[in-house]
Amino acid sequence: MKKLTLAVFALFAFTFYSCEVEPVGSDSLESVNGKGKLKVKSEKSEETCNITVLPTLPETVNACTTAKGIEANGTYFDLTVNDTELAGDYGAWCIDVDLSLNGNECFDALVFSSYDPAIPAGVVENPDNLDLVNYILNQDFLSQGYTMGEIQWAIWELLDDANCIACTFLGSEGADWDVADAQAIVDDAVANGEGYEPGEGNNLAIVLVPTNNRQPVVIPIPLECEEEPEGGCETAFARGTDGNTCFIGNGFNRWGWSIGPLSDGAEESYDIYAGAGQCDISKGELIGTVDVSYVGGEVTVTYNIDDSYNVTETHTYAGNSMFPTKNGKPTVAPGQYTISDDLGDEIYVIAHAVVCGEGDD
């Protein structure tokens, strides 16, 4: 059994670099203890990044709106996807002024990337402007002083052949939204969003097309950069005894688990699986265990990997939030994993490894 131990203390400051990798040799694993400052660099000379605007998506989902218009939380709809890897809560935007969807309504929907040419004809009246809508969804116009109503009006102006007339659910014109400000969003998108494609850390607009001829909507999902294992290698994550929290369904389309919350004094061992896509362990391979100790402010993470595998990298996160953040937004990209400073109270842990082919020793 190969073993790698990372011990870190919350009492010290830690320096972790972007896209940090904890490299390990292919022939043996030695114990590595980090106290004070821990600085490790990848043995790879280049990082490869898998980002696509045409990710693998479920064919259909079941979804429910829970609020609409000014009753929603800064978007036109509050919407919950109830199944598949997209399960979770989203802010959604209306595509078609002519069709209806209530603020408390469930439906089954076909699922498409907004860049997918297979979106059925007629769902979006101006599909060539979907790149501009992706641009809008990545500008955080709310923080710039614009309103939900102005953003929704701009999306209709770009995607539909006619905009709203009464605009009832946008609120009161002049109080909750202003057509001149809405047009300013349109003008910005036209000037700067032509050919726009979201990248790492940006949102990709996903089109949901209800199967019962109700109003189609777009929801944003974050795009994450993941370092691609080389040929014959697999990514692996530790899994809590009860599954804990799968990344999928919590705003991410990547599999893996956040373990916790763990209270000070916890000493636990967790299975680590390679290739368990969609968090389905029946698809993966049990390759060992990860021991996690959180005692007196000290976090120790030990990877115990079966001898038939070579471990090329590990990435470890421990913090008071379920997921690490990048630029203030949650992320599950392994290159962003760090051990947070000043740990206290309950914590969460993510343990990731890259393992290469069984029998390669």
Note the pLDDT tens digit of each residue in 132-168: 999 999 999 999 999 999 999 999 999 999 999 999 9
The number of folded domains in the chain is: 2
Inside any domain, residue 238: yes
Residues 6+ apart with CB under 8 A from 350: 237, 238, 256, 257, 258, 259, 315, 316, 317, 323, 324, 332, 337
Residue that terminates a domain, selected from 195, 222, 249: 222
Residue 86: inside a domain: yes
Is residue 361, in this structure, part of any structural domain at all? no
Q: Indicate whether 35 and 76 sit together in one domain.
A: no
Same domain, yes or no, for 270 and 305?
A: yes
pLDDT band at 50 (very low <50, low <70, confident <90, very high): low
- At residue 243, the pLDDT reads 66
- Domain check: are 76 and 211 in the same one? yes
User: In this structure, are 218 and 296 located in the same domain?
Assistant: no
Q: How far is CA 329 from the centre of its chain?
A: 9
Domain-embedded: residue 163: yes
Both 206 and 267 in one domain: the answer is no
Name the DSSP letter for residue 39.
Answer: -
Q: What is the mean pLDDT of the chain?
A: 83
- Token pair of 309 as six digits: 């595998």
Residues 342, 299 share a domain: yes
Q: What's the confidence (pLDDT) of residue 230?
A: 55
pLDDT tens digits for range 313-326: 899 999 999 999 87
Question: Which residue range forms the structural domain that includes residue 312?
Answer: 2-51+228-356
Q: Which of 222, 244, 273 is the last residue in one of the domains? A: 222
Statement to judge: residues 79 and 161 lie in one domain: yes
Residue 25 pLDDT greater than 70, yes or no:
no
How does pLDDT run across 236-273, given as a tens digit for each residue? 999 997 767 898 878 777 889 999 999 999 999 999 99
Same domain? 182 vs 302: no
Confidence of residue 34 (pLDDT cuts 50, 70, 90): very low
Q: How confident is the model at residue 43 (pLDDT cuts 50, 70, 90)?
A: very low
CA nearest neighbour of 205 among 66, 94, 80: 94
Strands 203-210 and 106-113: antiparallel
pLDDT at 10 exceeding the cut of 90 = no
Residues 197 and 277 in one domain: no
Q: What is the pLDDT of residue 2?
A: 46
